[in-house]
Structure 1
C-alpha cells in the first residue's frame, strides 16, 4: 500500500511539474526551461542529501548517471517528435512506451503481480492512451515522428529502469548522478546549437517551480519502487498526464474531451485495482 500511495503521489506531482513546464515553455525557450529547471532540481537534491539517509556509492551514482542520460535523451527526442508530428499521436505513443518497458523489465526480473494488479496495469496503460489524446490537432503523425516518439518513450522508460537498479542503501545519490548527467547533456546541446540559456524576463519563477516539483516527483518514484514492484509502480507513475489535464482545466479553463474524461476514470480504476492487490 505504501508503494501505491507514493507512486500515485509521484504521478500527481509529475503532472503538476509538467503543467508548470508547459507554462514556462510558452514564455521562454525550451532549452532554457530544461536547463534551468534541471538546475533548480539539482539544488533541491543537494539540500536533501544530508537530511535523508543514504551512503555514497559509486555504483549507485553510475546507475544514476545512466538514468539521467537516458531521461535527457528521451526529453530531447520527445520535443523533436512534437515538432514533426501530431500531439495526439506523439503523446500517447511516448507515454505508453515509457510505462510498458519497466513493466516488461519487471516481469522478466521475476516480478509476479497478483491477477487483479495485472488487470490494473492493463487498465492503467489504456488510461495513459486515453488521457493523452488531443482532439484539437488534426491530421496524422508521420512515420518518422512516431518512431521518434517510440525512442523518446524508451528513453523515459530507461530512466525508470536504471534508477531501479541502484541500491536502496545509496539514498538519493542516484538522483544526484542523474541530474548531473542531464544538466551536462543539455548544456552541451545548447553550446553545440548556439542557443542561449537565458530565460525570458518573468519566467524564472515558473521554471524553478517546474524543476523543484520534477525533483520531488523523482524522489517519490525512487521511494515507491523501493517499496513495491517496478511493474506496478511504473504504471501508476505513468498516469501523470491526468493531473496535467485536470490542472489545465482548472487553471486555464481548457476543455476536456469525453475520451480524456474516460481516461481519468480509467486511471482512478487502475489505482484502485493495484491498491487492493
Structure 2
C-alpha cells in the first residue's frame, strides 16, 4: 500500500508540473505557482471546514516549516531555471530526495537491503531522466540556487511526513496557508497578480488540486511507513513529466532520459517487491 500511495503522489506531482509548465509558457511562473497554490488552499480549507474537527496539537510547527521550505524551494528552482541551463538545474534539484532518506535513516529507520538497492537505482534514474548536461560552461549562481532548491524540497518532504504523523489534513492545510501567505506578500511587493484571466482559473485550479493530491498521498504513505522509502517513490515525478511531454507535446526524449526513466521504474519495482 505504501508503494502504491507514494507512486500515486509521483503521478500527481508529475502531471501537475507538466500542466503547470504549459501554463507558465503564457504567464509568469510565479503567477502560476501563486494562483494554483491559492486555489488549492481554498479547496483544502473547504475540506477542513466540512470535517469540523480541528486539532492544534503536534502539527503546526511541521506545517509551517514545510510551507517555508517548499516555497523557498520553488522560488529558488524557478529562479535557477530562468538564469541557467535546465539540464544542469533539474538533475541537481532532483537529488533533493537524498535529504529525507538521510533524515529518515538518522531518525532510526532501517530499510532492507533490497530497498536500498531499489532506492539507489531509482535516484540515479530520476537524475538521468531529468536530462543532465555536462558540456559547456556553467555559472555558479544557478548551481547554488539548484542546490538550495534540492535541500528545501527534501526538507519539505520530511516535514510533511513528521506533521502527517500528528494530522495529515491539518498539516496540508497549514503548509498551504504558509505558502499562500508568502506568495501574497510577494504579489503585494510586485503589485501584480500576473495578468491571469478568469478563463484560466479552471486550469490553475486543476494544477493546484493535483499538487494538493500529491502532498496528501505522500503524507499518508510516509506516515504509515518509512519516509526514506516513500520519499524515493514519491520523487519519481520527473519521469512522469518527461513522458507526458513526449506523449502530449511530442517533445523529443534524449537517450539518457529514456535510460533514466527505465532505471527509475526498475528501482521502484524493486522497492515495491
- TM-score where L is the length of structure 2: 0.94
Could you tell me which runs of 5 or more consecutive residues in structure 2 were left unpaired when the two chains were aligned.
none
Contact 1:19 1:244 in 2 (8 A): yes
Contact 1:18 1:244 in 2 (8 A): yes
Contact 2:122 2:232 in 1 (8 A): yes
Q: Which residue does the alignment assign to 1:185?
A: 182
> Cα distance, 1:167 vs. partner?
5.1
- The 5-angstrom pairing of residues 72-83 of structure 1 reads 72-83=71-82
Contact 1:54 1:169 in 2 (8 A): no
Q: Which whole-Å deviations, capped at 9, do the CAs of 1:132-182 have from their partners, x for residues lacking one? A: 0166x9734312211110001111111111112225342310110000110
Residue of structure 2 aligned with 1:204, choices 192, 201, 204: 201
Contact 1:120 1:269 in 2 (8 A): yes
Q: Cα gap change, 1:272/1:54 in structure 2, threshold over 3 Å: closer, same or farther?
A: farther
Q: Which whole-Å deviations, capped at 9, do the CAs of 1:213-235 have from their partners, x for residues lacking one? A: 00010110111101211111111
Q: Which residue does the alignment assign to 2:259?
A: 262
- TM-score where L is the length of structure 1: 0.92
* 3-state DSSP of counterpart to 2:152: helix
Q: Cα gap change, 1:12/1:109 in structure 2, threshold over 3 Å: closer, same or farther?
A: same
- The 5-angstrom pairing of residues 49-88 of structure 1 reads 49=48, 55-88=54-87
Matches of 2:197 and 2:49, distance apart in 1: 33
Aligned residues: 273
Matches of 1:203 and 1:174, distance apart in 2: 28
Matches of 2:199 and 2:164, distance apart in 1: 40
C-alpha RMSD of the superposition: 2.0
Q: Which residue does the alignment assign to 2:151?
A: 154
Could you tell me which runs of 5 or more consecutive residues in structure 1 were left unpaired when the two chains were aligned.
none
